[in-house]
Amino acid sequence: MKVIEINQFGNVDVFYEGSKELPPLKAHQLLIKNYATAIDPYDVAYRQGLYGGADKLPTVLGSSTAGIVLAIGSEVTNFAVGDRIAASPHLRSYAERLTVLEKQAAIIPDNVTFVQAAAVALGYQTGYQAVTEELDFQKGQSILVHGGSGSVGFAAIQRAKEIGASQIYATASSKGKTFLQQYDPAIHVFDYHSEDFTQMTDKVDAIVDPIGGQTQEKSLQLLKAQGKLVTTKDLTAKAESAPFDSRAFYLNSGQTLADLLTDISAGSIVVKINQSDKFNLENLKKFHTIFQEGHPLGKLVLEF
């Protein structure tokens, strides 16, 4: 099968076309014919060498897939050949076919496209999980979401709004601020280039932090006494010792993805697609460059 992989870290020119054979299907795996994969921050950073992994080169990147089940392992019980599914594997989705674990996969509703499903499999799922599971966010609570116009942040904002947040605060770039205020003028958005979010007068019940570092530490002063902060980055020493419920998390869950896709199907969660194009070497390089240089609003998705 055709893949696009890397055998060294660096700029987009490290990508090249290759061919691989998949190993025999394991008991709890699904074999997927890939129909769409998104460009995710994790894969851009991995290609640059920011996550290590030199001992695993050559590597096929890509951490989101939407496609059709071609075969199932002997112990698979919840899926069948022909099902439309989405998943977030750890790498391997820049390929015509790939395997995913049953527990990572979710059925795609009929009115959700492969492009939409691939777009939300990683970042949106993370933001949705942060609010729903990690924060156990409740109606009437307030929330601050950093990186509000990114995939994690935008999903977190939408899920908090869906639950019934009393007030939503967010940080974003200037173009991200415009985007979020067009989505919902009630969101109080701070332009992180020119505004100091720590000047907000109210403290909040919950914070979603996909940024880390100083942003995470400054956020602690904005939490109520029983507030919670969740982050996709490492906790700083200050956050570790703070008298708040602060935690770092990352977990792919097929059930969480299924719940998210159900909300997308019902129209309560909006998927923002920036561009989609055909999966090939040229377009993969182009989309990685666009993401790295500009962090576009909305997802970049490649279709097979």
267: which 2 tokens?
A: 């129209």
Band of pLDDT at residue 294, cut at 50, 70 and 90: confident
* Right CATH for 124-248 from 3.40.50.300, 3.90.180.10, 3.40.50.720, 2.60.120.200: 3.40.50.720
Residue 246 has pLDDT above 80, yes or no: no
Output the 3-class SS for 130-166. HHHHHCCCCCCCEEEECCCCCHHHHHHHHHHHHHCCC
Dihedral angle at the C-alpha atoms of 263, 264, 267, 271, nearest 10 degrees? 140
* pLDDT exceeds 80 at position 249: no
**171 Cβ contact partners less than 8 Å away, ≥ 6 residues apart:** 144, 145, 146, 147, 148, 189, 190, 191, 192, 197, 215
Confidence of residue 239 (pLDDT cuts 50, 70, 90): confident
CATH fold of the domain at 2-122+252-303: Quinone Oxidoreductase; Chain A, domain 1 (3.90.180)
Would you list the domain boundaries of the chain?
2-122+252-303, 124-248
pTM equals: 0.95
- The answer to whether 76 and 104 have CB atoms below 8 angstroms apart is no
Q: Please give the distance of CA 106 from its chain centroid, rounded to a whole number.
A: 15
pLDDT at 219 exceeding the cut of 80: yes
